Each structure stands twice: as C-alpha cells, then as structure tokens.
C-alpha cells in the first residue's frame, strides 16, 4: 500500500511531462522550426529536446526558459504548462493574446499580464463581497427589497 501514493506521483509527473512536451512540439511546429534548430537556439542537445517533446524527460525551469527564448514565447507559458507556476487569474484567452503579441517585449507582456491579473483579483474579491452582501441582505429583507427592478415590477 505504501507504494500507491509514490506510483500516483510518478504517473502525475509522466502526464505533466507529456503535456509540456506536446505543448513545446506544437509551439515549435507553429514557429516552423525543426527540432535541431530549436535545440541549437535553446542550447540543448537534439536528443534531449526530442525526449522532452515525447514526454520522456521533465525539463528544469532553466531549460524551459532557454526553450521559450528559442521559440520566442513567454517562459511563463511553459512554467504554467509544466506546473512550476500557478494558473493565472482571469480569462486565459486574454492572457494568451497578450503573450502572443509580437509587437510587445517580454517585459511589457509580463507587466500587462500582471496588471490584468491584479484587476481580475480585485474585481473577483469585490464580486465575492457583493454576492455575500446581497445574499445576507436578501435573506434578511426579502429579494424585492434588494432588487430595484423586482420592486418596480411588483408595484
């Protein structure tokens, strides 16, 4: 029984390695770069990069950063896919659009994503507080009192 959690952890690592490898391969193919070219750009061996793409190796954060530079994408994208960073707050499509914009420098992209996520967290807290307040208010005073449209409709 003691081996079961260990085996589950190994399986999780295998799945995340395969997922990051698939993502790197997709990004490389989208950029129309060969494995050999990306390996040279990232400063890793061709066989090692091939093993990463096939999910046989789990790259370190440093290697992911080198691969991101070679692909000209944000290292953060790779860190998130590899499970090194938490998933950001907000709409993933918005973050992806910011990160994919070739007209922005990496630092500019990061600043925009940070600001966007900060606003999302702030608005999410406000929405959660409003929801809690309205639920409490509705329970204490009835729904018509807290909803002006319902009060108008019932008048």
pLDDT at 133 over 70: no
Q: Is 104 exposed, middle or buried (0-12, 13-18, 19+ CB in 10 A)?
A: middle
Residue range 34-45, pLDDT digits in tens: 999 999 999 999
Tokens of 119: 């606003």
The domain ranges of the chain are: 1-86, 88-155
* pTM (global) more than 0.85: no
| pLDDT tier for residue 150 given thresholds of 50, 70 and 90 | very low
pLDDT tops 50 at residue 94: yes
Kindly report the CATH number that applies to the domain delimited by 1-86: 1.10.260.40
Specify the range with the lowest mean pLDDT, choosing from 24-38, 43-57, 92-106: 92-106
User: Which of these, 87, 104, 77, lies nearest to 67 by C-alpha position?
Assistant: 77
Asked whether the beta carbons of 39 and 94 are under 8 A apart, the reply is no
């Amino acid at each position: 029984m003691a081996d079961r959690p260990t085996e589950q952890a190994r399986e999780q690592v295998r799945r995340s390695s395969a997922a990051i490898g698939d993502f790197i391969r997709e990004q490389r193919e989208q950029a129309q770069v060969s494995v050999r070219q990306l390996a040279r750009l990232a400063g890793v061996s061709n066989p090692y990069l091939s093993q990463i793409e096939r999910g046989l190796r789990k790259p370190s954060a440093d290697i992911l950063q080198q691969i991101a530079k070679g692909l000209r994408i944000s290292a953060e994208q790779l860190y998130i896919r590899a499970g090194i960073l938490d998933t950001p707050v907000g709409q993933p499509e918005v973050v992806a659009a910011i990160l994919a914009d070739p007209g922005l420098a990496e630092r500019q992209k990061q600043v925009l994503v940070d600001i966007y996520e900060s606003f999302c967290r702030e608005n999410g807290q406000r929405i959660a507080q409003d929801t809690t307040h309205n639920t409490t208010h509705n329970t204490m005073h009835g729904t018509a009192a807290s909803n002006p449209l319902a009060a108008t409709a019932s008048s």
